[in-house]
């Protein structure tokens, strides 16, 4: 049986770790004791040993500024931008928990009731268990004065790039003046409000917005106790260009062309100035629409230059133009027509004062020779009249063959008297 034990022991010893030597075990135990001692010393020092820590640039708050303004109508002119450095004392563990946001420094304005300069003690607060060891400044000089208000103009300072084909107009704002309120001494120095807008390269008018900044001549005024009625305004910056555009006339029927009419306009064009996007739409300026049927020969007429859009200026200062119409290569012919068609959808009883009418036609000689009494007609329309209307003058429509239009057309307007029973 002992042999079996020895065999089993031999098998087991072949797979197990080697036993730790007594010497190594003693070293490990000593290291553990040393580590525990060091940890104990660190814990004790963190909880008991007092250290100092410095915090810089802690803003000094003004307590009671709102009350000072509401009750006495005064505000702080100087002393609102102070900061102090704090040196705190406490245990390492407590100090490690503190950040600048956990600290405060302030002065109390509650004892002030008149304008003047005051030296006020700086007070501090810190978390429990922490004490103030040192303060970089123990007091703050505060100057207070009456709050007043006044109006100042807004000036625009555009920052831009513009090519020679364009020009910049006067920038405009939706608000011309702003009301500012604050300490009287500060307001006396403020000359205007300014809005600076960077609009880049300008090729057309733009509208943008900008922040209002107060200025004392060329120096910005940054006083938190000065209030402005408008913090942002809308700025419109007009951009102009110039363009020469021809004057023209329109035609009511389209009978005139280069072969039968010569038309001159004096002046032939005008120079205009305006927003580039507006001028792009204007290719010509039409003075009037000409009724060709009323032109019986060479005619001159003076007409006003049509009113331009509000944003477009006439640089030529021409407020009228003379139009001359000369008829070319045409003749007239008078023809008597008795072929009158009456449209009578209401079935009215009527009589015509005349059974025929003389019509004057204009056109080329060749075209006029093709007109006969059988291929020209007249139309009268009674659709708009009712029974018992009596005598009325009805316009007559001249109907020409489509093959002759628009080379032949009637001159003037024609009517026939109708008695409607």
Delineate the domains of the chain, giving CATH numbers in brackets: 50-146 (2.170.120.30), 149-240 (2.170.120.40), 241-327 (2.170.120.40), 331-420 (2.170.120.30)
32 or 234, greater pLDDT: 234
Longest Cα pair distance anywhere in the chain, in angstroms? 161
pLDDT digits 0-9 by tens, 285-308: 999 999 999 999 999 999 988 778
Q: How far apart are CA 221 and CA 193, in angstroms?
A: 10
Q: How far apart are CA 172 and CA 157, in angstroms?
A: 11
pLDDT digits 0-9 by tens, 233-258: 999 999 999 999 999 999 999 999 99
| Percent of residues, the chain, with pLDDT higher than 70 | 90
* pLDDT score, position 235: 97
- Whether residue 264 is predicted with pLDDT greater than 90 in this model: the reply is yes
Burial environment of residue 393 by CB neighbours within 10 A (0 to 12, 13 to 18, 19 or more): exposed
pTM of the predicted protein model: 0.57
- Split at pLDDT 50, 70, 90, the class of 20 is low
Q: How far apart are CA 312 and CA 307, in angstroms?
A: 10
- Split at pLDDT 50, 70, 90, the class of 321 is very high
- Whether residue 380 is predicted with pLDDT greater than 90 in this model: the reply is yes
- Split at pLDDT 50, 70, 90, the class of 409 is very high
* pLDDT score, position 6: 45
Chain centre distance of CA 151: 25
The residue length of the chain stands at 421
Burial environment of residue 71 by CB neighbours within 10 A (0 to 12, 13 to 18, 19 or more): exposed
- Split at pLDDT 50, 70, 90, the class of 171 is very high
């Amino acid at each position: 049986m002992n042999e079996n034990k020895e065999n089993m022991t031999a098998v087991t010893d072949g797979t197990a770790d080697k036993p730790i030597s007594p010497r190594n075990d003693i070293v490990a135990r000593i290291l553990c004791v040393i580590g525990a001692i060091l940890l104990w010393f660190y814990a004790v020092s963190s909880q008991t040993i007092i250290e100092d820590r410095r915090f810089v640039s802690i803003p000094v708050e003004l307590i009671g500024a709102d009350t000072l303004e509401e009750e006495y109508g005064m505000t702080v002119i100087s002393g609102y931008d102070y900061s102090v450095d704090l040196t705190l004392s406490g245990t390492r563990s407590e100090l490690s928990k503190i950040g600048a946001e956990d600290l405060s420094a302030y002065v109390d304005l509650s004892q002030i009731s008149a304008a003047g300069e005051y030296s006020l003690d700086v007070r501090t607060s810190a978390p429990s268990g922490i004490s103030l060891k040192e303060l970089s400044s123990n007091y703050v000089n505060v100057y207070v004065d009456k709050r007043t208000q006044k109006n100042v103009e807004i000036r625009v300072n555009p920052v831009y790039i513009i090519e020679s084909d364009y020009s910049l107009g006067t920038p405009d704002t939706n608000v011309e003046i702003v009301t500012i309120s604050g300490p009287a001494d500060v307001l006396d120095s403020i000359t205007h409000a300014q809005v600076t807008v960077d609009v880049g390269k300008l090729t057309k008018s733009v509208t943008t917005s900008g922040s209002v900044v107060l200025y004392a001549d060329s120096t910005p005024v940054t006083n938190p106790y000065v209030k402005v009625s408008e913090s942002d305004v809308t700025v419109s910056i007009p951009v102009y260009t110039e363009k020469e555009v021809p004057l023209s006339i329109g035609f009511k029927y389209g009978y005139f062309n280069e072969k039968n009419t010569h038309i001159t306009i004096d002046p032939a064009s005008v120079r205009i100035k305006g927003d580039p996007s507006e001028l792009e739409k204007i290719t010509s300026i039409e003075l009037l629409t000409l009724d060709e049927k009323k032109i019986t020969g060479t005619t001159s007429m003076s007409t006003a230059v049509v009113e331009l859009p509000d944003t477009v200026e006439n640089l030529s200062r021409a407020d009228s133009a003379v139009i001359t119409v000369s008829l070319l290569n045409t003749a007239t012919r008078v023809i008597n027509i008795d072929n009158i068609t009456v449209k009578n959808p209401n079935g009215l009883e009527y009589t015509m004062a005349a059974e025929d009418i003389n019509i004057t036609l204009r056109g080329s000689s060749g075209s006029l020779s093709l007109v006969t009494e059988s291929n020209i007609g007249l139309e009268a329309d009674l659709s708009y009249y009712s029974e018992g209307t009596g005598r009325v003058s009805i316009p007559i429509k001249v109907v020409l063959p489509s093959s002759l239009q628009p080379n032949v057309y009637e001159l003037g307007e024609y009517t026939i008297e109708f008695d409607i029973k």
